[in-house]
Amino acid sequence: MRVLALVVARAGSKRVPGKNKRFLNGKPLITHSINHAFSSRFVKHIAVSSDDEQILKIAHDEGCISIPRPKELAEDKSQTIDAVLHALDYMKDLGQEYDVVVLLQPTVPFRPDGLIDKALSIMSSGDCDSVISHMLVDYFHPNRMKKIENGFVVPYCESEILNVARNELPKAYYRDGSIYVTLVSTLVSSHSFIGEKCKPLVVSSEDFVNIDTERDWLLAEIIAAEHQSRNG
């Protein structure tokens, strides 16, 4: 498989301004995901898509391909899939085409060792069109989720299973955002990272954070300090 690892990192962030180039544990946030991509044995090229010149310079200095993203693809309501398709077109113009894209969001700075290659190994089986990391739901189980209609609490999607402990409910999972691996043909045809034959890669919640708020950033700093302490 010809594999492109792509990190998408736009300049804008209202909740954590400049987070993608903000330093976490001594290096820009985006560099953590870049390093994960470089650890893969199967990735052919690593690219960073951004509308921020400083981020593109960081990517270049780290040995990545820098892809300038048009401003209209980097607004608050812009879709990541459009940035990915733009990146594929950009690489095609450079004479590079791929079978698979590994999408790494820089807001997830900690990933288990070997995660990318494990996902690519699942993809190489040939019986799926996407592999996406999922995490076991613990406290906020969907069976306990509600919505409010006409002033009354009603089930969000299914009737609640009553009088059972939470750990006795059927296992449920959610996309945690650590990694998306998708066939290029699926990205183009479905305009989505999630194909019709999507396989899960179940990951642990230990050391996980997806940075969206300053509180998340503080948690990331704590986790980074713990890692540094453990590794000496």
| CATH domain 3-132+176-224 topology | Spore Coat Polysaccharide Biosynthesis Protein SpsA; Chain A (3.90.550)
**173-207 b/e with 16+ CB inside 10 Å = b?**
eeebbbbbbbbbebbeebeebebeebbebebeeeb
φ, ψ dihedrals at 220, nearest 5°: -60, -40
Q: Output the six-digit token pair for 144.
A: 């306990």
| Alpha helices (H) in 39-105, listed in sequence order | 53-61, 80-93
For the chain, give every domain's residue range: 3-132+176-224, 138-171
- Per-residue tens of pLDDT for the chain, all 232 residues: 999 999 999 997 888 999 999 999 999 999 999 999 999 999 999 999 999 999 999 999 999 999 999 999 999 899 999 999 999 999 999 999 999 999 999 999 999 999 999 999 999 998 999 999 999 998 899 999 999 999 999 999 999 999 999 889 999 999 999 999 999 999 999 999 999 999 999 999 999 999 999 999 999 999 999 988 887 6
Q: CA-CA distance, 166 to 186, in Å (whole number)?
A: 36
CA–CA–CA angle 72, 182, 84 (5° rounding): 15
Q: Output the six-digit token pair for 5.
A: 């690892």
The pTM is what? 0.93
